[in-house]
Every structure is written in structure tokens, then in C-alpha cells.
Amino acid sequence: MSNLLVIPSIDIKDGKTVRIVQGIPELNCSAYGDDPVEMAMIWRAENSKTIHIVDFDAAHEHSHKNFEIVKKICESVIIPVEYGGGIKNLDDAKEVFDLGVFRIIIGSLAFENESEFLKIISEFGIQKVAAAIDVVDDKVIIRGRSVKTNINVIDYAQHLESLGVCRVIVTDVKTNGMMSGPNINLSNKVAEGTNLKVTLSGGVGGYADLFNIQNERHEKIDSVIIGRALYENKFPCQKIWRVAESGIFN
């Protein structure tokens, strides 16, 4: 089985990096810094191969206020950047790709406007478009994790596959930002029930959780998105990285 790709998440609201707990952004978290661009450069310095961005202003208000920041992130690092938040149509997708992102993550649109979602896939290809599946108690939730549907996660994943999707980001919202351990079983069920590539998101609290994912995951789970545990230095090697980085961005 291939190595597990660790993808740091940069969650942006009002131009700043925020902490996400069960899908809700929390401001004024000193460990997270104010500058998402600097944070991206730190993750790159720590040998990240990909960065995951969530734009909460775009997701909740369809605002483009963070677009210049996203563009600067893409210009500042030489690794792929994937972006999720507020993509409602083909024009939105084009605007985001123009910022320099490698892949877009689409959530509610795929659920609510299938024809527009298919237009985006047709325009950019399945390698450039992934679908987000946010889950509470095995049911899909949408609209910035605020509306719970009655659709079972496996049924929805299978439907996305039938549309041509090849990758999904599976997030157990109850574990998101809690650092209480990932719901490996949820992502395994999606991997077992489909031919989709799966990125697991939510719940990682440190090295032990990462080790458990590596050992318990289905082979189609090839990556994991980590936010809070990385920002709050829950991995022993980060202390070494932090000393090496001090002064880099001053």
C-alpha cells in the first residue's frame, strides 16, 4: 500500500487563518497566526506536497474577499493548492482556477445543481474537480455544513461516482477540529462501496491517529487532511521544524 499523503488545511475567514471546530470557524486563535500566505509558506517549508484551502466567506456569503490571498498562496508555494468554498456555477469555477489552484472541491453544488456540476467536470476534467461529502451520523449535510439531508453517505458517494467523480473528501463533521480521533470506519465504508479515491478529513489529534489511519485504511484512502493538530504542534517533529523556521519570514 502506498504512503499516506498528509495535506495541511488552511481555513480562511475575513482574510485570516481560523480554527474550525465541528464546521464552525473560530477567530482569534493565536496559534494559527493572521496571515494565510505565511502559513502556506510554513507548510511548504515543512515539506508539504499539497495544501487544502477552505474559504468560509465564499462558502457562506459567496464573497470573493479572500481571492487575492488565495492567489498569493498559489504564487508563493510551488506545490498544488486545492480550494473549496462557495463554487456555485461554471463561472465561479473558472474564477477560482484563474487564481492558480490545482483542484477545486465542490460540495453543495453537486447535491443541489447536478447539471451545473457536470458542466464543471466537462470543462475541467475529473482530475481537477473533487466532491466534498460532509457527514453527520452517516447522513450527508450541505450548505456550509448547516443543512442535514436524509441521504445516506454511501448512496450519495455511489451517485457521485456515476456522475464521473473520481475523488471525494469525506469529513465526519462531529470529529472535525475536535482532535478526538478520526472516523476511519466512515471513509473505509465509502472506499469499500465505490471505486472512488478517498481523502479522509476530520479528527486527527496527533501521530497515533495518523498511524492508525495508515494501518486501518482501505487502500483507496490515499490522503488525509489535517488542520488543528498541525497548528497546535501535536506532532513531536514539529518542535524541530519550528526552531529551524524561526526568522524565515521576518
Distance between alpha carbon 232 and the CA centroid of its chain, in Å? 18
Do 26 and 18 form a contact (C-beta atoms < 8 A)?
yes
Say what the pLDDT of residue 96 is. Answer: 98
More confident residue, 176 or 174: 174
Per the model's pLDDT, the better-predicted residue between 15 and 3 turns out to be 15
Q: Is the pLDDT of residue 33 over 80?
A: no
130: which strand partners? 105
Cα–Cα distance, 116 to 113 (Å, whole number): 6
pLDDT digits 0-9 by tens, 118-139: 999 999 999 999 999 999 988 9
Q: Does 31 have pLDDT greater than 80? A: no
240, 237, 169: which is closest to 206 by C-alpha?
237
Helix (H, G, I), strand (E, B) or coil at 182: coil
Contact (CB, 8 A) for 82 and 50:
yes
Comparing CA positions, the residue from 160, 134, 167 lying closest to residue 149 is 134
Q: What pLDDT is attached to residue 23?
A: 52
- The pLDDT of residue 230 is 85
Q: Which of 2-6, 103-107, 212-216, 224-228 ranks highest by mean pLDDT?
A: 103-107
Catalytic residues: 11, 134
Which pLDDT value is given to residue 21? 53
Percent of the chain exceeding pLDDT 70 equals 86
User: Which pTM value belongs to this model?
Assistant: 0.88
Distance, first Cα to last Cα, the chain: 41
Domains of the chain, CATH where assigned: 5-245 (3.20.20.70)
pLDDT at 177 (0 to 100): 62
134 membership: H or E segment, kind and range:
strand 129-136
pLDDT for 237 equals 59
Q: For residue range 75-106, what is the model confidence (pLDDT) as tens digits?
A: 999 999 999 999 999 999 999 999 999 999 99
How far apart, in whole angstroms, are the C-alpha atoms of residue 141 and residue 225? 19
Confidence tier at 246 by pLDDT (50, 70, 90): very low
- Give 4's DSSP letter: P
| Residue 158 in this model has a pLDDT that exceeds 90 | yes
What average pLDDT does the segment 207-224 reach?
Answer: 93
Specify whether the CB–CB gap between 173 and 147 falls below 8 A: no
Q: What is the CA radius of gyration of the chain?
A: 17
